[in-house]
Amino acid sequence: MQSRYDLAIIGSGGAAFAAAIRATTLGKSVVMIERGTFGGTCVNTGCVPSKALIAAAEARQTAAEAGNRFPGIATTADDVDMPALISSKQDLVEELRGEKYVDVADAYGWHIRHGDAAFAGTPEAPVLEVTATDGAVETIDADHYLVATGASAWAPPIDGLEEAGYLTSTTAMELTKVPDSLLVLGGGYVALEQAQLFARLGSKVTLLVRSRLASKEEPEVSKALQEVFADEGIRVVRRAVPTHVARDDVRGQVVVTADISGGEQEFHAEQVLVALGRRPVTDGLNLDAVEVKTGDTGEIVVTDQLQSSNPRIWAAGDVTGHPEFVYVAAHHGTLVAENAFADAERSVDYARLPRVTFTGPAIGAVGMTEAQVLAAGIRCDCRVLPLDYVPRALVNRDTRGFIKIVANAETGEILGLTAVAELPAIPEFGEEGFELSWYYSVDNPVAQKTNAARKQALEAAGFTVKDQGVPRAEIRELIQASDAETNMMMGPAGWCYDWPQGDAVYPAIFLGSAQTSGHSVGFLKEEKLDKEMNRIKALPAEEQGPEWTKFDKMLRDEYLPAIPTDEGKATAIFGTKVHN
């Protein structure tokens, strides 16, 4: 039996669905082949089940610690009914799988095949052979093929690991009993989320980490999370390389031997969870037969337009080895359909890719880290704002974390933002009726360049921005006539001036980071600041640098802690450069 389509897709996750939807809207015939559970990783074993359990664990943690955070509140956290929790998680997974995948496929009407797919034919005339569960084989011929098979949990060849048995992030979320103790191997986002999840459900958790927590993020992230984990009773052992795993049947434990800074140490736990990475799923696809190249970990090697070494075969999502986020996969899928059928010639660009790890507090980042900026030969103007200075965090009684901005010291362009914060404390924009707007001076070309870079970075990060360049002399009059709660002017050196309605004009504190909340951070009605700024500006240029450094320190140490809040105003302070 042979069938003919415009696009044949192997896989049924986010990348596959995005490609199928876009190709269908372009009037193309589509067939989707799935050998396992319909819907891919996110809904079945990734985003949905993990975040559902993380939310449940967070609720238990909040109940356990509410009395310490908020005087007058008395709560307790009982033991977890794990079978009920897992059952509710699975109900949610099945509901969303039906709603977001099965029903969508039905609505668009593309064809679906269940079975194992493998390439056959020749590189010039590739086809797919699909073997159904009953052994029947169907040959599918298509103009274009998309491999969107995702990735799966991977375990390194540690001596004794397979024999002893271990959990992955998938099987861990199927446990019907909370382990008394749990060893987690790894320090990436899966390891961090799973370690804290089970600790909050009641396990005694130890993390064995080769380098540091969240090693691909800013070092401040690692430090902040290690402190959080210590407060929650999670032990973190760094520089640990597991060398042997065995099961002690008498004690009902797994024993992991690890090399720690040249010495050996044993760790005992009821269960061990391996979270040391994922590998693309390409085994069995017979890619060599159609001359599709793969990389060292099995990933399909693609161009920036996601085309493989065979021009009729494309790849999208985790199977490419690109960043493993469902929104990246969805973007990939749409891009492939448009490149294949509309000659769009679109390319992937991760320069401003946002990323989140759902620990508590969460890690949120976009763009480059300080190390990446320096490695690129760019002089960095980097600033860190502890959450002790963010009013929303103070109100929440949770100041664990920070906000860090990484900027180009020459141009003021924001190159990266990182935050560790409880989600309600992270700046939230985009609420109905909210608009981030400002005026900036056009009298100085440096101000125009800085403002353009600032706006570009904020819009790329998802903010709604309205800016207006006007002569400086007109700004005060425009602001007084505005009905906005808060307006700002971006000065040529990166200072942010802020005028709430009816207040006098004074410089708001700016620390080179982004800060916002449901409250105004207040404004310094101190002539001392104006006088000190004018004094420094009058100095020769070569003498100003050290004086501005002293001035910045004075702001942080003397003024910022004392700023009053003003309820009812929404203030945003943005900038990229404090005077150097």
Q: Each residue of 181-233: pLDDT tens digit?
A: 999 999 999 999 999 999 999 999 999 999 999 999 999 999 999 999 999 99
| DSSP class of 285 | S
**Greater confidence, 489 or 42?**
42
- The predicted structure's pLDDT at residue 502: 29
Decide if 486 contacts 572 (C-beta within 8 A). yes
When pLDDT is averaged across residues 467-475 and rounded to a whole number, the result is 69
Mean local confidence (pLDDT), 391-410: 91
The neighbouring-strand residues paired with 417 are 366, 405
Question: Residue 507's pLDDT band (boundaries 50, 70, 90)?
Answer: very low
pLDDT tens profile 414-436 = 999 999 998 654 444 333 333 45
Of residues 557 and 43, the one with the higher pLDDT is 43
Q: Is 50 exceeded by the pLDDT of residue 1?
A: yes
Q: How far apart are CA 259 and CA 242, in angstroms?
A: 6
Q: How confident is the model at residue 391 (pLDDT cuts 50, 70, 90)?
A: confident
Apex 327 CA angle, 324 and 328, nearest 5: 50
In this predicted structure, what is the pLDDT of residue 486?
Answer: 40
Task: DSSP for 348-400, please give it.
Answer: ---TT-EEEE-SSSEEEEEE--HHHHHHTTPPEEEEEEEGGG-HHHHHTT---
- Per the prediction, the chain carries an average pLDDT of 82
Q: How many separate helices (H) and strands (E) can be counted in the chain?
A: 16, 30
Q: Give the confidence band of 245 by pLDDT, cuts at 50, 70, 90.
A: very high
In this structure, of 29-43, 317-331, 445-459, the range with the lowest mean pLDDT score is: 445-459
Q: Does position 573 have pLDDT exceeding 60, yes or no?
A: no
pLDDT for 450 beyond 60: no
User: What is the rounded distance in angstroms from the CA atom of residue 248 to the CA atom of residue 456?
Assistant: 58
What pLDDT band is residue 558 in, cutting at 50, 70 and 90? Answer: low
pLDDT digits (tens, 9 = 90+) for 332-351: 999 999 999 999 999 999 98
CB 405 within 8 A of CB 514: yes
| pLDDT at residue 454 in the model | 54
pLDDT digits (tens, 9 = 90+) for 474-506: 655 665 555 444 444 333 333 333 333 323 222
User: What residue type is assigned to position 294 of the chain?
Assistant: T
Query: Quick check: 182 and 272 in contact, CB under 8 A?
Result: yes
Does residue 244 register a pLDDT over 90?
yes
What's the gap between Cα 401 and its chain centre? 16
